[in-house]
Each structure stands twice: as structure tokens, then as C-alpha cells.
Structure 1
Amino acid sequence: MSKERFDIHQHLTDRIVAAIEAGAGQWQMPWHRHPVNIASGNKYRGVNVLGLWVEAQVNGYGSHLWGTFRQWADKGASIRRGQKASYVVFYKEIEVDSPEDGEDECKRRLFARATPVFNADQVDGLTEVPVAAPVEELQDVDGFISRTEAKIVHGGSRACFIPKLDEIHMPPRDAFTGSASSTPTEAYYSTLLHELTHWTALPHRCDRDLSGRFGTEAYAMEELVAELGAAFLCAELEIAVEPRTDHAQYLAHWLNVLKADKRAIFTAASKAGEALTFLRG
């Protein structure tokens, strides 16, 4: 009997669901440093960022460096006995036969390939810590937000995006209070970047569904996209964050979406990536 094929979509979804459920309703997006590959120095992208954040949080890893068995060996390090791998996904384009109307045609399809990786906290013998490859840096977060040309209205006590007005409404900056883990400024920017991701959803931007009401799967999916978008931006812009106060309200709906569709988290991460590409542009 052939060995059952490893399903990377199901594996990553199960890990995220387990992390949320283990938090007994208190789980929060793991806002860590951007995961970096030990060999190339490049930052991981898309769903791999979320997957490695979750693995780091669940296993208590403090490092943001990851690599395959061979990549660590090339650095003179060895994986400690008994350590379990985490997985990242890469997509490979291949040609497949697709006969139509009796004629043979070749079509190109994307297939997900799972690759096992290990965190720096799982290895011994690492003597040199690599520096991430240079990437575009946005020194002024206000400048980044301003360049999007989003209309932001300050006032009131709610943070939200209003599609009919095409406006982001935010409380005044001085209305945000700090905590033991974040400053008022960090709380302000993490909230604004969440709403800025929602702003990209209109048809003439990234064209996502904003019709869902609270409690629906459409609503939960858009909130997940916005939360991932904010997470990716906060990591990219090196902003520490304050978890949103309404996070627990839709956390249960995230679980429903993730359990119903193993590819949902991949879709959300992809949509968040599209939003970031639009905002950068």
C-alpha cells in the first residue's frame, strides 16, 4: 500500500486551528519578527509567515531564523536529536496532459510542495548569525500611509472602514492607551493598518467581498484578511502591536471558516498579500 500523500494545506490549517483552540478563546495573532531563511537571508512570504509564527509561538522558539536540514548543515550546525520539523510551502509549476475533444493539450498547473524546516533554537553549533538580505525599508510609517492616498478621518470612538464613503474612521491618536507590551503609538498604527487593509477591498482596488455581516463566513474571511494584512505590515515596518480589542468577537468565526475549508488560510494570506502589493504601489 502506498504511503498517504502529505497534505500541506491540511497540515498548516490544523496547526493554526490547534493554536487557536489551545488558547481557550484568548489566542492572539503571534506578532513576531519576520521569519528569515538561514541560507538566502530572504524573508518568507505569504502563508509561510503565518505558519512559522504559529510554530514559533506553539513551541516557544525565540529566533526568527529557519532553514532545512541541509541549509543548517552548510552553516556548520546540526539539528538536535528528537527535534520535529515545521513545514513551509512552495508552489511549483508543471505541465500536465489535458485532452480535450480528442486532442492532446498540455496545461500548466501549480502544485504545492511541502518543505521541512527547523528553527535556530533547534540546532547546535551555529557560530555565525546571518543578517537578512537588504530589503526595501519604509522609515516613515506615516509617509507609507500617506502615499496610499486613503482618506482617513480622525474623531469619535470607533475604528472602521466605511465602504460607501470610502473613508477610514479612526479615534484621535491620544485616545489610544498603552499596555505592558505596547505603546499608545503602536496600538494606533496596528489598528490603522488593519483598517487600511479593509480599504483595499473595494472593486477598483483589490475587489474583495465586503457584503458579509457579523457572524457570516464572508465577514470572518475579510476580517482574517485584514488581520493578516496588518500582521504582515507590522512585521515589515517593524512595528510592535497591541492586539485589537474586538479580536475575540470574530475568533470563533475564524475557526468555523478554517475547519470548513483547509485552503481558507491560504486564500486569506494570498488576499492579504495582494492588499500589501496594492498599498506598496
Structure 2
Amino acid sequence: MGYQDKGRTGATLYSEVTDRIIAQIEEGTLPWVRPWDDGRAALGLPRNAGTGRRYSGINVLILWSRLFEEGYGSQRWLTYAQAQAMGGNVRKGERGTTVCYADRFTPKEGDNAPTGPDGEPRQIAFLKRFTVFNIDQCDGLGDRAMAAVTTWNEALTLPVAQTLIEATGADIRIGGGEAYYAPQDDFIRVPRPEHFHEPINWYRTALHELGHWTGHRSRLNRLPDTGFGSPAYAREELVAEMASAFLCAELGIVPTVRHADYLGAWLSVLREDSKAIFRAASQASKAADYLLAFRAEENHETEEQQEEAA
């Protein structure tokens, strides 16, 4: 299916982003694992300052990359028009960041639209670009665009991660010397917490395996049929790696590389297909959202219990 991009070709957009990410990986810096501990950027996923909605997919990588390049201290972004609507403005001379929006439309009759086997018009996918600015580039927004302070205290963040992991209901078996997800029997194996040099790495590992767990046919139905060493397997590892990074950041845990031995395979996949990182980032966001929904359900159940107790 072809892609259209308002103003520039979709192929150009894919190539621009993919080439940038390939260069970052070759330099040893994964765009989904950056130096969060520099104390400037708050942990979390980037959000729109006007609506509060999380950005997803490739836009997370694009915005995180710009966040660290420029040393911004906020994960909040908005368009020029949004800044004005909120009573502020983008400072003169500030350079915006291009994000993209993917959607599909059905051409009208007579537009030489391609048709499917049933003769009906086929939907055409398109990419639309938007320019956004970090709130650090703006004046006059006041407190409306400010985000809640992110805690770095593991004593507070780890219980939140533990609650989410338990809320998924996943069959997690503790013990052994390896961490993996077994799709045939639908269970996760993770070594005992005390076997990790740092306790927080148990949670990073569990979240990575939960990323794979979301791909089961009964959930997001994403897992490949091929085994270890295949390009499809490498792509799935890339999805789980990014899903874990997105989850960690949102839960207040600094993301780290869990499977650096796949770097060569990931580079090969990205070089062969400029759309691969877009698809992987999209699937990673869907996996992260799937898991974060359990946190929302848990919070809702807790609120209902509190109301009943009252």
C-alpha cells in the first residue's frame, strides 16, 4: 500500500528518520535509551501540552532525540497555534520539531482510486507532518503546561511497577538462570530478584518479557512464526526493547539496553526497510499502552473499593 505525505513524499520522511536512527545506533546511542540521569529531562513519555495526550510510535523517538539534543527539561510539546491559544507564544527564532501523523482515507469515485478484489475502493495510507515546540521554547504559558514532578525515588517507583506487573495477570514464573517468554505455553520466566546485581534490573527484565507477552495471539497477535536468529525475530526483539523503554520511562524507571547483542541485527533490518522502525515503534507503543491500561484498571478498582468502604 502506498503512502502519501502532505508536502513531501512518504519515502523522504521514512528515509530521514531511519537514517538518523541508524546513525545514532552506529554511534552507540539508542534513541529509546538516552542519558536520563543528567537531571534535566523528566522521565516519562512525551505529551501534548494542550491536550495532555501521549505521543506514540515513531514520534516518541523523534521527540526524545530532540529533547536530549537541545537539553530541554520538559516532556511537553505543542504547536505554534496551541501556544497562542493557551495565551503564550513561541519565542522568535526557535526551531520546531517535525512529528508525523499516519492515517488512511478512501478516495472518492472518479479519483482513479485503486480497488480491491471486491471492486470497492481501497484505502490509501498517508503521512501528515506537524511542527511542534517544547514548552521550554515558549513564553507566557504559565502553569497550564506544567507537568507533575517525576520522582526518581526507587522506593516509590518500584511498588508502582510491581502493582502493574501483578495487575496484568501474566503467568510469571520466578527462578532459573534465564529470562524469556514462552509463547507456546504463554508464560514468562524471570530469575529470582536477588540474582540481579541491582534490584531494579529485575523490573526492567520483567517489563521486557511482558512486552513479548502482549504479542500473544490472544492479545495483540504480533509474534512471528520464525525462531531465534531470523529477521522477524530481531524485529520482535526490537519491539519488546522499545516497549520496555516506553514503560520504564512512564513508570519512573530509567530505561536501559536489555539486549545489546541484537544491535547488528537491528541495523540490518533498518537498512533493508526504511519503514521498519516506524512499524516497530508503533507496535511498541501499542504494547506499552496495552500494559499501562492495567494500571488504569487497577486505579479504577481501588477507587471503587474506597468508595464502597466510605
TM value normalised by structure 1: 0.79
Q: CA deviation at 1:92?
A: 3.9
Alignment of 1:256-275 (within 5 A): 256-275=268-287
- Ranges in structure 1 where 5+ consecutive residues have no aligned partner: 134-138, 179-183
Secondary structure of the 1:45 match is coil
Number of equivalences: 262
Residue 188 of structure 1 aligns with an amino acid whose one-letter code is: W
Residue 28 of structure 2 aligns with an amino acid whose one-letter code is: G
Q: Which residue of 2 aligns with 1:110?
A: 125
- Distance in 1 between the 2:101 and 2:57 partners? 10
Sort the Cα spacing of 1:213 and 1:38 in 2 relative to 1 into closer, same or farther, 3 A: same
Sort the Cα spacing of 1:125 and 1:252 in 2 relative to 1 into closer, same or farther, 3 A: farther
Q: Which residue of 1 aligns with 2:28?
A: 25
Is the counterpart of residue 211 in structure 1 residue 226 in structure 2?
Answer: yes
Sort the Cα spacing of 1:99 and 1:168 in 2 relative to 1 into closer, same or farther, 3 A: closer
Q: CA deviation at 1:14?
A: 2.6
User: 1:64-119 CA distances to partner (integer Å, 9 max, x unpaired)?
Assistant: 111122222334232342x4322211134433143659x98544433110111122
Q: CA deviation at 1:242?
A: 5.2
Cα contact 1:166–1:199 (8 A) shared by 2: yes
Is the counterpart of residue 241 in structure 1 residue 254 in structure 2?
Answer: yes
Q: Which residue of 1 aligns with 2:204?
A: 190
Q: CA deviation at 1:195?
A: 0.5
Cα contact 2:72–2:134 (8 A) shared by 1: yes
Q: Which residue of 2 aligns with 1:73?
A: 84
Identical aligned residues as a percent:
38
Give the one of 33, 37, 51 matched to 1:40. 51
- Distance in 2 between the 1:255 and 1:275 partners? 22
Cα contact 1:65–1:119 (8 A) shared by 2: yes
Q: Which residue of 1 aligns with 2:187?
A: 167
- Distance in 2 between the 1:242 and 1:210 partners? 28
Is the counterpart of residue 61 in structure 1 residue 72 in structure 2?
Answer: yes
- Distance in 2 between the 1:113 and 1:239 partners? 31
User: 1:24-51 CA distances to partner (integer Å, 9 max, x unpaired)?
Assistant: 3354623642111122222212221222
User: 1:227-256 CA distances to partner (integer Å, 9 max, x unpaired)?
Assistant: 1211222233x2313524x53211222122
- Distance in 2 between the 1:55 and 1:120 partners? 13
Greater helix proportion: 2
Is the counterpart of residue 150 in structure 1 residue 170 in structure 2?
Answer: yes
Residue 54 of structure 1 aligns with an amino acid whose one-letter code is: S
Q: Which residue of 2 aligns with 1:181?
A: none
Residue 156 of structure 1 aligns with an amino acid whose one-letter code is: G
Residue 212 of structure 2 aligns with an amino acid whose one-letter code is: H
Residue 217 of structure 2 aligns with an amino acid whose one-letter code is: P
Cα contact 2:244–2:288 (8 A) shared by 1: no
Sort the Cα spacing of 1:109 and 1:146 in 2 relative to 1 into closer, same or farther, 3 A: same
Residue 194 of structure 2 aligns with an amino acid whose one-letter code is: D
Q: Which residue of 1 aligns with 2:300?
A: none
- Distance in 2 between the 1:229 and 1:248 partners? 15
- Alignment RMSD (CA, Å): 3.0
TM value normalised by structure 2: 0.72
Give the one of 263, 267, 270 matched to 1:255. 267
Secondary structure of the 2:54 match is coil
Q: Which residue of 2 aligns with 1:52?
A: 63
Q: CA deviation at 1:125?
A: 4.8
Sort the Cα spacing of 1:4 and 1:115 in 2 relative to 1 into closer, same or farther, 3 A: closer
